[in-house]
Chain A
Amino acid sequence: MKLSLSEWIKENRDSGNINNRQQLYIFLICLLISIFIWFLVVLSKETYTTIDYPIVFKNNPENLILVNKPDSILSFRVASGGFELITLKYLTRKRPLLVELNKLDLVKEGNNFNSVYSTSKISKDIISKLNIAQEYISISPANIYFRFESLYGKKVKVLPRLKLDFARQFLLSDSLLVKPDSVMVVGPEKLLDQIKYIETIEKEVIQIDKSQTISTTLQLPENLQNIKVLPEEVEITLTVEKYTESTIKIPIVNTAKDYKIKTYPDFVVVTYLVSLENFNRVTEEMFTASVDFVENSSSNRLKVNLLHTPSFIKITKIEPEEVEYLLLKQ
């Protein structure tokens, strides 16, 4: 009966026979030595490998912005002995290669400023460090292409995106104050044309029970990474006051010119929120309730409108919203 190698190893390892075990250990040691020798033979031969270096772009030219995505990896195809290549590929620290954009030779073509950068300028140093004859090295890409556009700027309005959750009886007493209320956006003209306003990142403020100022960052529209916003942060002030609910009974007045209208009921009850500070200021005279009469209307009820209300209250309910009516002869 034939046994596979793994079965043979298992059988010898598990058997109580010392001779069998010794035979197994000798076999395994010989196997390891053979593998090691095979490895040495392979590594001593000349072979190829690729070593990648990251490229970093710095110092943008003044009033220009890079609008294309240049290659950011420089690959060296190297032919050498296996041992050397392992050292180069895995054991050598690869410092990023620096390209200073403000030192590029730019050529104006239409609205763009273009440049071709030969990678040989930055690869010399690497090649000397690699300590390999240059004829055994190829570099990719040979050139890096850059395209710049002139920078433009415009002011756009900031729109706050806040989810506000107020504690009971607290409300905003004034509109949100954004400081600054507009920001400068800088970038290529085409992209700037797409921007009408800038929103803040969405922020949730819960259980608001006092006035406060929130710092928040601005959110650029997606796919507009080449745009810069100045400043990047704004402050939003929430002016909060404690409100109380109250009701007031307001008579419905007849504002129709050609008709005398009697409504049933002849009043509405207005429910409103008012700050404690203004609570005693509210009087019936500050309100005017009226109905809209449309001639030949088939409706049996008329909608009640509040023509005048104090600016410092927030109406929450008008009861009833519609009233029955009789049209009387003048």
Chain B
Amino acid sequence: MIKVGLTGNIGTGKSTVARIFEALGVPVYHADHEAKKMLERESVKKDLLNKFGLDIFDQGKVDRKKLADLVFNDSEKLNFLNSIIHPLVKQDLEGFFNQMQHLPYVIQEAAILFESGFNKDFDNIILVISSDETANKRVMVRDGIRKMEVEQRRSNQWGQAKKIGLADFIIENNEEELLIPQVLKIHQTLMG
């Protein structure tokens, strides 16, 4: 089984690409989604409470918006959060891979695959790219946030140029190039 990492900076359209792979029958592990679920674990909540205090909690649950505002502006806090969540996600992912051993390939979607060093765990990396302008627009509409906030979040990610050199497959999601043919081409390659 080939382990494929699917990554891309904020607003590039990773999720859309992941959904196309899913429609083709490829299992996709959504790391960011699973990471959010980890925030509900009692052990995680305890560590967050000790580090960030009660401010990030709302009725006993982690307020993800408040947490994001806190960590995206402070790299030390972001590193702390990653140090709690990443090992849990990695463990969960191993379980996912074990279940899918019979398939030709599986995909993990993650925003900070390179930044977290997880890329080494994959056989191939697919990188989704788009212009900052297009990506800004998508996130502003999706999350209802301002351009400045999108750029702030992007500043915690590596630049696209650096990632292009490390990726095995590049998908351009710029609204001019067709997305599905690019995905189909990669799918055929990975299926052998």
Chain A interface residues (CB < 8 Å from chain B):
247, 249, 262, 264-266, 269, 300-301, 320, 324-326, 328
Contact = CB atoms under 8 A, between A and B. Distances in A.
A266 B181 contact: no
Nearest to A320: B175
A269 B141 contact: yes
B141 A264 contact: no
A266 B19 contact: yes
B178 interface: yes
Interface string B46-73: 0000000000000000000000000000
Name, among B24, B141, B181, the residue most crowded by chain A CB atoms within 10 Å (CB to CB).
Answer: B141
B19 A262 contact: yes
B79 interface: no
Given A249-B141, A264-B16, A328 B178 contact: no
B186 interface: no
Contacts of B141: 247, 249, 269
A326 B175 CA distance: 17
Given A249-B141, A328-B23, A265 B16 contact: yes
Name, among A249, A265, A301, A325, the residue most crowded by chain B CB atoms within 10 Å (CB to CB).
Answer: A265
Contact of B180 (A247, A266, A300): A300
Interface residues of B, number: 13
Contacts of A301: 178
Contacts of B181: 300
Given A247-B141, A266-B19, A324 B178 contact: yes
A264 B180 contact: yes
Contacts of A265: 13, 16
Contact of B19 (A247, A264, A300, A328): A264
B179 interface: yes
B1 interface: no
Nearest to B20: A264
A321 to B, nearest CB: 10
B180 A326 contact: yes
A264 B183 CA distance: 12
Nearest to A248: B141
Contacts of A264: 16, 19-20, 179-180
Name, among A247, A249, A266, A324, the residue most crowded by chain B CB atoms within 10 Å (CB to CB).
Answer: A324
A66 to B, nearest CB: 69
Nearest to B24: A326
B175 A300 contact: no
A249 B180 CA distance: 22
A257 B20 CA distance: 22
Given A247-B141, A249-B141, A269-B141, A326 B20 contact: yes
Contacts of B16: 264-265
